[in-house]
Chain A
């Protein structure tokens, strides 16, 4: 008989033990996969929030700007520089920015803010600011309006909870209020009618500003109000200006939402007395694979000369990468503990199996079975156990992960508040299958291989006569 068939049949000679061992592997794999998926998914989501919708993968900056973010560290944006960047086959569009700090006041309230001069149209290639305009806002007045209309009580209740919240799309509104599919047609138009938020955008040449949702609440500022900015301009000049607030945006990162003011880039240059200057050029790219980005960084690095330099996403997001790394390591430690415990369980099983079958091994060797073949049967048995456990773990976790990937968990109340306090978007996303699946297989295989060393050694040491008597 072939070894693999023999091993398979041996497994089911003690069905209960096999199943329990398989179950332990299954449990560890299931837990590890779900946890990893959730962890990696959140990192991925954070990356998308920050990199794909803000810093971009590659920027050109004044060489001192990153370490010293002051308005004096700017560079002249010439058409030649633009052409040089666009020559790269991977460059899609260049997004000019002038970034600085100012004191903003509206009415009586003042706050230090981050002023971002952007090209309203080109910015759509990276941080699509237009899509972040607040479209719906639940306020006390409009809640009273909705309550007088004919809508389910459940939704009236959730309206009270979400007073003060703003939404950039219908989806968020539907999810928070818990409007189900059947009600959408009847309820949604009523809710939309009352909560709709009239919002405008900015365009070049017009002295208008967009401000973050949280900042607008802090400043008690509404559309049409005047925003006064005071700060330090280029080469020590005074920067001061008055702008009409034309729109309110809600950004996914609360920390930025609380301090961002967008101006059209030319208006911003005027404010800081920096005609034609920029602090950074973010580059929108076509292919975002690591290799291609690294190639582009080094190729542009050769062409771009001081006072400018090329800076990549890793350097721009060091802090975030550091945090993710720390969190990632702690997750790995947790899973390592779990696997260590499972490894003991597997070793225990192997030990019992070996003790129980000493006589059988002796007989098989006595009637002429080669020790190598016998050993390979035992090894195969344990590999089967590991593989069935992994397969079962994947089979159960995969649907859950895929569901979670398409339907991210939105946190609510205290937990959401906690996330926001840490500057994170209160959302939990899963990571679709990736190399982390592969690692579970590697770890379980390694455990199995280490565990079978014991019986294999026993087999090779088998002294037929002695073990027959066992």
Chain B
């Protein structure tokens, strides 16, 4: 009965109720969407860290992680691997060789980590092979008599391996993309010209195109003009097993793009066999074994199990290797709850005001109800229910709206291309696919109900304080 009365009461002043419902809807919707956005960004980062960069667990020789001393290898690798085979929860593992060195082209050099991999095995653990930029070659797919290297997009830019060129192929691609003629005419003015790096290309575009034209077509033109020197060479310099400096020429097999500048700038992949030959290292010695688990939630359990059975080695999981990500995933729910709490607190002011108004407006009626025998508990719960209904209607609408928009935007993602450089420097992609879990909606729903209850306490107490006799007399 109380439920029914409370529900009907809401619609006695629909305009006022709609203002409250509207404010809750807008607040909850904005909160849901903002959180889905953050959540998408974080889970994309975690996913790419695990899939492309570090996997779940790394086993290294004791002390190797301190400064990647190439002398610290895993002693007796076959024994270690046979132990790993007995552990449950491991989906696969690969061995890697890691050497610090310098990569240089004719014009530039940079400090890098050279990672020796067995490509066929490595792609079972990592999905780096899926991040190869189209047209740059492949993931060690072609056999070659040369040493092969796979490098990151940002490093390729840094070393001037990527260049920009407007040729007939680029122009015809722009036609296909639907770029209007007036732009094509301008762009074709510098056809045949080569740009050593992105900045020079940007400069020239700025000269000939208007700002609005660049913001609309700049990315397309860049993509079309982007080219890469086939079979480019770079020299890798590093120390061999006896600490003598060796240098060797590598040809590019492809360029990968993980949207994490730090990783792209610092990691070069080569074949284990090439690296072994050049450093003179033993075929059977490796610095690192990388494990992929069947279930990410098993990380801690498997880590401690491995620590026990591999006492002479260092075992570290992704949470230890990337504490920032671990912290984010661990506290992410608290952060979202805090964010939501701020919005709901702001909403509560509006609800309190409205409910107060409701009570004052109905002084006479409430007095009457008390006079004919409605007990205080019922009056209290009636007011509280009204407030909860108001917030829930708004909340559910807001959540539904949020859910729909999240799913619509998740299809193609939201691309903040102008912030790509800054975000990728922190390892985050600027192309965000919002994403949100069902558990989050439950949390929000609970928080909304709580807000409704809390903001009705003060007005409801006011209603209880009314003296029925006096209340009936008020006009």
Q: Smallest CB-CB separation from A346: which chain B residue?
A: B350
Task: Tell me whether A144 is interfacial, beta carbon within 8 Å.
Answer: no
SS class of chain A's interface: helix, strand, loop or mixed? helix
Task: Tell me whether A110 is interfacial, beta carbon within 8 Å.
Answer: yes
Chain A residues closer than 8 Å to B107, beta-carbon distance: 68, 70, 72
Contact call B357/A421, Cβ cutoff below 8 A: no
Known: A72-B107, A334-B339, A421-B322. 20 other contacts (CB 8 A): A27-B346, A31-B342, A67-B197, A67-B200, A70-B107, A101-B110, A103-B102, A319-B425, A322-B419, A323-B422, A323-B423, A323-B426, A338-B343, A338-B346, A344-B26, A345-B349, A352-B354, A355-B16, A356-B361, A417-B323
Distance, CA A68 to CA B421, complexed state (A): 18
Give the residues from 99 to 115 in chain A that come closer than 8 angstroms, CB to CB, to chain B. Answer: 101, 103, 105, 108-113
Task: Tell me whether A462 is interfacial, beta carbon within 8 Å.
Answer: no
Distance, CA A338 to CA B350, complexed state (A): 12
Minimum CB–CB distance from A451 to chain B (whole Å) comes to: 11
Give the residues from 109 to 147 in chain B that come closer than 8 angstroms, CB to CB, to chain A. Answer: 109-112
Task: Tell me whether B301 is interfacial, beta carbon within 8 Å.
Answer: no
Chain B residues closer than 8 Å to A417, beta-carbon distance: 323-324
Contact call A27/B345, Cβ cutoff below 8 A: yes
Q: Smallest CB-CB separation from B71: which chain A residue?
A: A108
Chain A residues closer than 8 Å to B160, beta-carbon distance: 68
Give the residues from 14 to 59 in chain B that come closer than 8 angstroms, CB to CB, to chain A. Answer: 15-16, 19-20, 22-23, 26-27, 30-31, 34
Contact of A230 among B30, B245, B349 (CB under 8 A): B245
Task: Tell me whether A280 is interfacial, beta carbon within 8 Å.
Answer: no
30 pairs across A/B with beta carbons < 8 Å? A20-B352, A27-B349, A67-B199, A67-B200, A68-B107, A103-B102, A103-B111, A109-B67, A111-B111, A113-B111, A220-B67, A230-B245, A232-B109, A259-B111, A320-B422, A323-B422, A325-B419, A325-B422, A334-B34, A337-B31, A341-B30, A341-B350, A344-B19, A344-B350, A348-B19, A348-B23, A351-B15, A351-B16, A352-B16, A418-B324
Chain A residues closer than 8 Å to B100, beta-carbon distance: 110-112
Contact call A112/B111, Cβ cutoff below 8 A: yes
Task: Tell me whether B220 is interfacial, beta carbon within 8 Å.
Answer: no
Chain B residues closer than 8 Å to A68, beta-carbon distance: 107-108, 160, 196-197
Number of interface residues of A (CB under 8 A): 61
Distance, CA A17 to CA B355, complexed state (A): 11
Minimum CB–CB distance from B340 to chain A (whole Å) comes to: 11
Give the residues from 321 to 357 in chain A that come closer than 8 angstroms, CB to CB, to chain B. Answer: 322-326, 329, 333-334, 337-338, 340-342, 344-345, 347-349, 351-352, 355-356
Distance, CA A446 to CA B346, complexed state (A): 18
Distance, CA A220 to CA B71, complexed state (A): 15
Contact of B356 among A20, A108, A334, A340 (CB under 8 A): A20
With A111-B100, A337-B31, A340-B27 known as contacts, the answer to whether A348 contacts B20 (CB < 8 A) is yes
Chain A residues closer than 8 Å to B282, beta-carbon distance: none
Q: Smallest CB-CB separation from A69: which chain B residue?
A: B108
Task: Tell me whether B243 is interfacial, beta carbon within 8 Å.
Answer: yes
Distance, CA A176 to CA B27, complexed state (A): 41
Contact call B426/A17, Cβ cutoff below 8 A: no
Minimum CB–CB distance from A292 to chain B (whole Å) comes to: 26
With A319-B421, A351-B15 known as contacts, the answer to whether A20 contacts B349 (CB < 8 A) is yes
Distance, CA A159 to CA B313, complexed state (A): 28
SS class of chain B's interface: helix, strand, loop or mixed? helix
Distance, CA A67 to CA B343, complexed state (A): 45
Give the residues from 225 to 251 in chain A that come closer than 8 angstroms, CB to CB, to chain B. Answer: 230-232
Contact call A341/B426, Cβ cutoff below 8 A: no
Give the residues from 279 to 336 in chain B that come closer than 8 angstroms, CB to CB, to chain A. Answer: 322-324, 327
Task: Tell me whether B80 is interfacial, beta carbon within 8 Å.
Answer: no
Contact call A323/B425, Cβ cutoff below 8 A: yes
Distance, CA A326 to CA B352, complexed state (A): 36
- Kindly supply a per-residue 1/0 record for chain A positions 71-83, scoring 1 wherever the CB is within 8 Å of any chain B CB and 0 otherwise: 0100000000000
Give the 4 A-B residue pairs with the shortest CB-CB distance, closest first: A112-B111, A344-B23, A24-B349, A345-B350
Minimum CB–CB distance from B106 to chain A (whole Å) comes to: 9
Contact of B353 among A101, A220, A345, A418 (CB under 8 A): A345
